[in-house]
A and B are shown apart, each in its own frame.
Chain A
Amino acid sequence: MAEVKEKEPLFSKKNKRLITDPLNDNNPVTIQVLGICSALAVTVQLDNAIVMSLAVTAVLVIGNIVVSLLRSLIPPRIRIIVQLVIVASLVILVDIVLKAFVYDVSKQLSVFVGLIITNCIIMGRLEAFAMGNKPWASALDGVGNGLGYGFVLIVVAVFKELFGSGSLTVPGFEKFQIIAEGSGYLHNGLMLLPPSSLILVAVYIWIQKTRNKKLIEEH
């Protein structure tokens, strides 16, 4: 008689790794270099970055679960289109619900909602993970990658907003002016423009790889 396989605990070691891996060793932005486009565009203000991270995480988790549930039904030849349709309709649903019930949040998100669809992390995770794993593992993978993405976004946004406008904007609060006007610091205009994100992400990768030697590729 085959031994009854012991049920895997919800937060087994393997499952925990699904959340922790994307934060460092397998970060979607700095290691896999996915989702760079939105990391460049929405990091001028901290609140935008936070809201965008939450929105992407939510869509990623739900998308991962849905694709994972349907994974044995989706025809392989049209799987990318199917994933795209799932993500796009999720985003539109979220947009409609936000507009109806939390109009202010939807005003704040405005174009970001549309940008979520184009975020390559989402399609990447659906294709690479959810298509071959169970729903719970996929949900955790979504949370992990969402957080990994959000962390980089927030770090970049803090530097950009602080040195670009001397302030930090936290959602739900007023803008905090950290460097007072007229204190002798002139705002760095480059920090407000997309290219500075590339420089900051590069510095981030540099620091990350210095601290974590196993990420350095052998040549």
Chain B
Amino acid sequence: MAINRESNSYTILFAVVMVVVVGGLLAFTYESMKGTIKSNQENEKKQNILQAIGIAETGGKDFDRDAAQEVFYKYVTRRITLSYEGEILSDLPADSIIDSKNKMDAFNIDLRKEYKLYGKKVIKNNKGSKEKLAAGLAAEDRIHYPLFVCEKGDSTFYVVSAVGTGLWDDVWGYLGINSNCETISGSVFDHKQETPGLGSKVTEDWFQDQFIGKRILAEDGKTRLKLEVKKPGNELNNHQVDGISGATFTGSGVAEMLERSFVVYQDFFDNNPEFKK
């Protein structure tokens, strides 16, 4: 018997079967690969943190992501979670292995999730006034600020992170700060979906390497400097970097997120002089 493909019942039956088959297939594939994907993402995060302090061996295409695991514990000696006011909420040493159930572990702080759920709202409600924004962020205790203390040779580095909005969606980054809390030692940026070839260039070395050596504290050791992303082609001073041509919004997003989170870290360093060496 030939099937009448024009009939309503056949059409509906086909649609139902198709949805069930496709849905089942996708769900099954995702469930069976979820673990691998998650460990890839965690290793990438470790790699980013290590690159921010200039551990060159973790960069490049030849680096095995799984090796990031061991290298991470070798260099990162403390994982600290801060509140906006600089209160230490969690402080874990290198010999405590990252447990994905411990949500307060600095490594497990999901910055992008916190930004999406709470941060964006605070920023939107307090547009235009820096004081109001600071008060709003201080009142929002569901946003955390991870700080990684790293030892490389004899030097100490601090890796801080920031998340903000580019042109289309989230941009985020990890920055390394030298032990005197004055200059940047390295940076890694990433984005969810900035325009390919324009905003997506935040992940390229020429952009990230510009941050190396830039100051967040003036030579007098007191005046705070704001990292700025300028339009390309301008003269740059010791706290400005070249932006990406054709990606003004991505650049201003990067500058905004750095300004917003550096306030927290710089307050913390000022209030805890033992960190400044």
Contacts and interface: CB of A to CB of B under 8 A. Distances in A.
A45 B26 contact: no
Contacts of B19: 85
Interface stretch (A27-35, A76-84, A142-150, A201-209): A76-84
A110 B200 contact: yes
B197 A48 contact: yes
Given A76-B6, A89-B25, A189 B245 contact: yes
Interface of B: 3, 5-6, 10-11, 14-15, 18-19, 22, 25-26, 29-30, 33, 36-37, 40, 44, 61, 65, 192-193, 195-198, 200, 245-246
A89 B22 contact: yes
Interface of A: 41-45, 48, 73-78, 81-82, 85-86, 89, 92-93, 96-97, 99-101, 103-104, 107, 110-112, 172, 189, 192-193
Contacts of B25: 89, 93
Given A89-B26, A99-B33, A189-B245, A77 B6 contact: yes
A93 B10 contact: no
B37 A93 contact: no
A78 B18 CA distance: 12
Contacts of B14: 73-75, 78, 82
Contacts of A93: 25-26, 29
Majority SS at the chain A contact face: helix
Contacts of A193: 246
A112 B196 contact: yes
A46 B24 CA distance: 37
A97 B10 contact: no
B193 A42 contact: no
Contacts of A41: 195-197
B29 A96 contact: yes
Contacts of A48: 196-197
29 contacts: A41-B195, A41-B197, A42-B197, A43-B197, A44-B198, A48-B197, A73-B14, A74-B14, A75-B10, A77-B6, A81-B15, A82-B14, A82-B15, A85-B19, A85-B22, A89-B22, A93-B25, A93-B29, A96-B37, A99-B37, A100-B33, A100-B36, A101-B36, A104-B61, A110-B196, A111-B193, A112-B196, A172-B61, A192-B245
A86 B196 CA distance: 26
Given A192-B246, A193-B246, A44 B196 contact: yes
A30 to B, nearest CB: 21
B246 A103 contact: no
A189 B247 CA distance: 12
A97 B246 CA distance: 33
A111 B196 contact: yes
Contacts of B36: 100-101
A179 B245 CA distance: 19
Given A77-B11, A96-B37, A85 B18 contact: yes
A143 B37 CA distance: 30
Given A73-B3, A82-B15, A92-B26, 6 more contacts: A42-B196, A73-B5, A74-B5, A85-B19, A103-B65, A189-B245
Given A78-B15, A99-B40, A103-B65, A110 B197 contact: no
Contacts of A75: 5-6, 10-11, 14-15
Contacts of A103: 40, 44, 65
A131 to B, nearest CB: 12
Contacts of B192: 110
A192 B10 contact: no
Q: Give the one of A41, A75, A78, A189 with max B CB within 10 A.
A: A75
A189 B40 CA distance: 36
A103 B193 CA distance: 16
A98 to B, nearest CB: 10
Contacts of B29: 93, 96-97
Q: Give the one of A99, A104, A107 with max B CB within 10 A.
A: A99
A41 B197 CA distance: 8
Contacts of B61: 104, 172
A105 B196 CA distance: 15
A187 B40 CA distance: 37
